Structure 1
C-alpha cells in the first residue's frame, strides 16, 4: 500500500474508529484484504434505452458527444490535495454507479451498462485514482486536448476527472489556481447531471475535512456496496421513467402526431460546409461583466422574455445580417428540452441524478430583416415568439409521446449508421439504392442552442466558501461539421460560447456570424 493510501486510511480510522472495513484494510495492508468482503464478481447490468443508444452508437469511434465541464478556480493549496480530491471522487462514484460502470455491446439493439461495485473501501479509492489525472496544462490546452486529441473515454471508462495546475499560473500566498475538467459520456447523463455533480463535488471538497471525507467514504460503501441484494441497482433509462402510451390506437395516434409535427418544421438556412480537412473544434467564449449582465437580465424581464428566448432572436438576426440570402425561407433553430419534470417517481434505490433525460424542441423565425429602421422592435417581437414556441413545446400535452417517438427515430438512425460504419470498416458495405427526395419544403436547422439558464441556481457558492469558482466552459467532442452555441449565467456573468468545427465551415462566414451575435447582444441587450 502506498504512503498516500495509508495516510487516507489512517485519517479514516481516526474519524470512524468503529468501521471494521477501514480497520481491516489497515491491518492487512500488504494483502489488501478487508474484514468485510464483497464478492468481486458481483455485478449489475441493464440495457440502454433508445435515447442512450442514440448517443452511444455514434460515440464508439471517436467519442462524438463526449461531454466536458471545465471550471477554473482558486482555492487554498491544502483543499486541493490529491488525497482529498480522490476521496471526493470515490464517494461520488459510489453514490452514482453509472459513473463507475462499463459498457458491453452485444448487438446494435443490445448495449448494456455493467456495474461492478468496489469490494472494499480501498478498492473504491483505487478505482477513483485510476480515473483521475493531474496535468500542468492551461485551460485552453486542457480543453483542446480533450476535444481534438485522442479520445479520453471508452467502453471501459465512461467518466474521468482531470485536475491541472498550469505551469505559468500565479498564486498569491496559499490560494492556488486550478483547472478542473470533468469528463463524461453523454449516454450516461446530461448537462443538468453534470452541473449538479460539480456542485456536489465542490461542496464536499470545500466544506469537509479529510478525516470526515474518509469516514463518509466508509459509510457510503457500507450503505451502498456491502449489502448487494438490497442496494445494488442502476438508474433506469429515460423510456422506463416516462408514462406509457397505452393501447394500439393511442400509439398509432402518437406516431401520426409526431410525423405531422415534424412536417411543420421548416428551415431553409444552413452554414456553407467544407470537407476534406480533419475536424478541429474551437470554442470562442465571451463573458459579460456582472453589472451589464444584471442590466440586460432586467431588460429581458421588462420585455417579458428570458435571456434564453432572447438568444434565439439574436441568432436569427445575426444570421440574417451574415447571410442575407433566401429571406423568403424561415430559420430553424433547435435546442434540448429537459424532460426531468415529466418523469414518473423512481424507486428509492434510483435516487442518483446521473441519467440521460433530454428531448428536443425547435424554434422557427423569419429569415428576413424588416425594411423598417426599428430593428429593436423586431428583435423583441421575435424573442417573444421564441418564448411562445418554447413554452408551447414544453407544455404540449403530446410532449411525452413526441419525446418517445423522437428517441425511437434517433435510435433507429443510430443503429443504421453504426452498421454502415462497421460494414465500411470490414469492407463489405454496399451503397443502398437511391430513393427520390421527399417533396415539400426543407427542414434544415441552422444551429443548435444549449441554453443552460442561471447556473448560479445550481452552484451553491456559499456551501464551499474557501473555493472561488471563476470561469465555466462546457461542451462536447463533435462530429465533423458540428456547431453548438452555449448561453448561460455563471458567477453573475452572462457567458456566450460557440463550439464548432473550424475546418468544417467557411471560416469568414462563421467569424462574421459570431461577431454579429456579439454585436446584436450589445445592441439589443446592453446599449
Structure 2
C-alpha cells in the first residue's frame, strides 16, 4: 500500500535527483545564452560544488528543426527550440528572474501547447485565469481519516511526486516563459510548501465555493499553479463517526489536463484510505530523496510525441500540406447567438442518471454499434436543430473536442502530470431528413461520429498534425497576447495623459507598430476550430467556407476505471463535477460515467448568450436522453 512521507528523515539532504530529458535523439545545438546545463541522471552533489558548467547537449524535439525554424525566424531567433530541464544555481551568471537566483532550481521552457494555455490565462481581474481547471469530488468518510496532519502529509507526498504542482512560472516575454521548480532541502520545507497550497474549510457550501472559483478573482497565479481544498458543510472536521466532505483540486490548464487531475485524485484517495487505523497520520517509510527520485521531471508533450524517424525537410513539408488541407475541411456555419448581458457568469447545471438508467443507456448504445461518447455528439446536434428553428440548413454543424495524446508519447520515466492533449472536430448536418425517423437519424449520426473519431485516432498523421496544431495555437496565443498587451499599455498611457488629450486617439508610435504587427500575424493564420470564436472565424482572410464551432464537448469516458473505489476503505464517493474558468461567451459540455451513473455537466457563460437560448438547448438534450437513449420497453 502507498505510504505518506512525514518528517522522518526530513532533515536528510538531497543526495541524488534525476530529471531525465526525453523525446528525440540528441542533437548538437548551441547552448542558449541564459542556459546552464541540461539535467540527465545528474548527481545533485555536483550541483553544489563550484560554478555551473554549460552543455551543448540540449535537444530539439523530432521535426522541430524543420517546422519550428520558420516560426522562430519571425521571432528574432533562427534556432529551433528545446524543452529540456536545466539547472540554475547561485553561481549561475544569468537568470531570467533574480528571485530564483539565490537557490538551486530547475527550469524548463514551456512547450507550444503549454504556452498557448498560459498566455490565454493571463489577464486582469475576473478575466484572468481562463481555463484554470477544477475537480470536485463529494464523498462520505470516517472522521479519523480526515485529521488535519494526515491531510497535510498526503498533499506533501503528492506534491513531491508531481513537481509541477509546486512549481512557478517565470515570464520574461512571449518567447521566454519557463517553469521553475525549487526542490525542497528537507521534509519540513516540503510540508511548508504543501501547506501554502492547501486549505481546510468548515461550514462551506460547495456551490458557493465553485462559484467563487469560476466567477470571482483568480485563485491560482504564476506563483501558485495548484491548490487543494478539503471542506465540509458541518461545523467541524472532528465528527464522532463519519460525515460528508468535499475535495477540490485546482490546477492551471497549462500545467496538466483532465487525465492528470483524475489520476492525481485517485492517488489522494488511495493515500487517504491507507492505514485506516492510524490516528496521527499514515506511516512513513520514504525519505525525501526516495520520493523525489521516483519520478523524473515532466517533459513537454511536443518533446515526447512519437513522430516518424528520419523525416527530413520534404517529409515535414508534406505534413504541413496535409495539415493545411485538413484545416480547410473544417466547415461549420452555426453558433449559439451571442449577447453581452453583463459580466461573465459561468453556470454549471449537471444531470446524473441513476445506475439502472445508465445501464439501459449504455446497453442501448452497444446494441446500435456505438458508445455513449459518440451518442452525445449526435444528441447535441439534434438538440441544437430542435431548439433553433431559424438556421442555415445548407451549412453543417461543427463541434470540437480534445484528444488524450498520452498513448502517442514515448514511454519515458518522467512524471505524467503534464498536459498531453490534441484536438479534433466532428461535423454533422444541420437538418433532419423528412423521410427518415428521428430515431434512425440519431443512431446513424452516432455511427458517423464513431467513423470520424476513428479516422482521427487511427490516422498516420495524428502525431505530426498535433505538433503543427500546437505551433499554430501558440502563434495565435502570441498574437492575442500582444494585442492584449497593447490595450493594457494604451489604457495605462491614457490614464497618464492630461484630461485634455484623452479620447483624441493620440498614441505612441511603438504601440501602433506593435498593434500592426499583431494584426498582421493574426490575419495570416489558418483557422483552428478549437480556439476560434465565431467572430474570429469569420474574420480570417479568404476562407472558402466558415469554420465556426457550435460548442465544445469533453468526453471523459468511464471514470470508474480511473478510481479504485474498492480500495477506498472508509470512504464512499458519490459526486464528481469538473470544468474550468471560461472566457466570455464560452460553452463546454462534459459527459462521463462515475459511480455507475451517467453524468452530463454543462459549463456556460449565462451572460454571454441571448436569453433562453442555452437553457432551451439544455432542455432538448435531456428530452433526447429520455426519448432516444432510454428504451421504452
The normalised TM-score by structure 2 is: 0.74
Structure 2 counterpart SS, 1:505: coil
Give, in whole Å, the separation in 1 of the partners of 2:627 and 2:417: 39
Q: Is the contact made by 1:46 and 1:234 (CA closer than 8 Å) also made in structure 2?
A: no
Match of 2:594 among 468, 490, 496: 490
Give, in whole Å, the separation in 1 of the partners of 2:457 and 2:294: 34
Q: Is the contact made by 1:12 and 1:211 (CA closer than 8 Å) also made in structure 2?
A: no
> How far did residue 470 of structure 1 move?
0.6
Structure 1 counterpart SS, 2:218: coil
Task: Look up the match of 2:581.
Answer: 477
CA deviation profile, 1:386-434 (whole Å, cap 9, x unmatched): 0110111011100011101110000000111111111111116445479
Task: Look up the match of 2:616.
Answer: 512
Structure 1 counterpart SS, 2:612: helix
> How far did residue 248 of structure 1 move?
0.7
Q: Residues 278, 310 of structure 1: CA spacing in aligned structure 2 closer, same or farther, 3 A cutoff? A: same
Give, in whole Å, the separation in 2 of the partners of 1:377 and 1:388: 17
Q: Residues 171, 310 of structure 1: CA spacing in aligned structure 2 closer, same or farther, 3 A cutoff? A: farther
Q: Residues 12, 103 of structure 1: CA spacing in aligned structure 2 closer, same or farther, 3 A cutoff? A: closer
Q: Is the contact made by 2:10 and 2:187 (CA closer than 8 Å) also made in structure 1?
A: no
Corresponding position: 1:157 with 2:147: no
Unaligned 5+ residue runs, structure 1?
1-8, 24-35
Q: Residues 260, 295 of structure 1: CA spacing in aligned structure 2 closer, same or farther, 3 A cutoff? A: same
Task: Look up the match of 1:401.
Answer: 464
CA deviation profile, 1:151-192 (whole Å, cap 9, x unmatched): 000000000001111148999961111111100000011100
Give, in whole Å, the separation in 2 of the partners of 1:466 and 1:172: 14
> How far did residue 276 of structure 1 move?
5.8
Corresponding position: 1:305 with 2:374: no
Task: Look up the match of 1:56.
Answer: 118
Task: Look up the match of 1:337.
Answer: 403
| Higher helix proportion | 1
Task: Look up the match of 2:385.
Answer: 320
Structure 2 counterpart SS, 1:133: strand
Match of 1:444 among 538, 541, 548: 548
Q: Is the contact made by 1:87 and 1:214 (CA closer than 8 Å) also made in structure 2?
A: no
Q: Residues 170, 295 of structure 1: CA spacing in aligned structure 2 closer, same or farther, 3 A cutoff? A: farther
Give, in whole Å, the separation in 2 of the partners of 1:101 and 1:370: 54
Match of 1:193 among 260, 266, 274: 260
Structure 2 counterpart SS, 1:213: coil
Task: Look up the match of 1:253.
Answer: 318
Corresponding position: 1:131 with 2:194: no
Task: Look up the match of 2:502.
Answer: none
Match of 2:431 among 368, 371, 385: 368
Q: Residues 169, 475 of structure 1: CA spacing in aligned structure 2 closer, same or farther, 3 A cutoff? A: farther
Task: Look up the match of 1:280.
Answer: 345
Task: Look up the match of 1:380.
Answer: 443
| Aligned length in residues | 492
Corresponding position: 1:105 with 2:171: yes
Structure 1 counterpart SS, 2:136: strand
Task: Look up the match of 1:42.
Answer: 104
Mapping of residues 263-278 of structure 1, within 5 Å = 263-275=328-340, 277-278=342-343
Give, in whole Å, the separation in 2 of the partners of 1:249 and 1:139: 55
Give, in whole Å, the separation in 2 of the partners of 1:381 and 1:510: 25
Q: Which has the higher contact order (CA 8 A, sep 6+)?
A: 1
Corresponding position: 1:144 with 2:211: yes
> How far did residue 42 of structure 1 move?
2.1
Task: Look up the match of 1:3.
Answer: none
Q: Is the contact made by 1:44 and 1:234 (CA closer than 8 Å) also made in structure 2?
A: no
Match of 1:202 among 231, 256, 269: 269
Give, in whole Å, the separation in 1 of the partners of 2:149 and 2:269: 14
Unaligned 5+ residue runs, structure 2?
14-44, 49-101, 491-507, 524-539
Give, in whole Å, the separation in 2 of the partners of 1:212 and 1:173: 18
Q: Is the contact made by 2:400 and 2:552 (CA closer than 8 Å) also made in structure 1?
A: yes
Match of 1:424 among 466, 484, 487: 487
Give, in whole Å, the separation in 1 of the partners of 2:273 and 2:589: 31
Task: Look up the match of 1:31.
Answer: none
Q: Residues 170, 505 of structure 1: CA spacing in aligned structure 2 closer, same or farther, 3 A cutoff? A: farther
Task: Look up the match of 2:356.
Answer: 291
Give, in whole Å, the separation in 2 of the partners of 1:20 and 1:115: 19
Q: Is the contact made by 1:138 and 1:179 (CA closer than 8 Å) also made in structure 2?
A: no
Mapping of residues 218-237 of structure 1, within 5 Å = 219-225=286-292, 233-237=296-300
Q: Residues 514, 424 of structure 1: CA spacing in aligned structure 2 closer, same or farther, 3 A cutoff? A: same
Corresponding position: 1:239 with 2:343: no
Q: Residues 395, 77 of structure 1: CA spacing in aligned structure 2 closer, same or farther, 3 A cutoff? A: same
Structure 1 counterpart SS, 2:549: strand
Task: Look up the match of 1:30.
Answer: none
> How far did residue 275 of structure 1 move?
2.2
> How far did residue 220 of structure 1 move?
4.8
Give, in whole Å, the separation in 2 of the partners of 1:464 and 1:110: 43
> How far did residue 321 of structure 1 move?
0.3
Q: Residues 375, 271 of structure 1: CA spacing in aligned structure 2 closer, same or farther, 3 A cutoff? A: same
Give, in whole Å, the separation in 1 of the partners of 2:545 and 2:299: 39
Structure 2 counterpart SS, 1:507: coil
- Please give the root-mean-square deviation of Cα atoms over the aligned residues, in Å: 2.4
Q: Is the contact made by 2:10 and 2:287 (CA closer than 8 Å) also made in structure 1?
A: no
Structure 2 counterpart SS, 1:105: strand
Task: Look up the match of 2:233.
Answer: 166
Task: Look up the match of 2:29.
Answer: none
Q: Is the contact made by 2:149 and 2:281 (CA closer than 8 Å) also made in structure 1?
A: no
Give, in whole Å, the separation in 1 of the partners of 2:212 and 2:294: 38
Structure 1 counterpart SS, 2:122: helix
Task: Look up the match of 1:67.
Answer: 133
Q: Residues 133, 80 of structure 1: CA spacing in aligned structure 2 closer, same or farther, 3 A cutoff? A: same
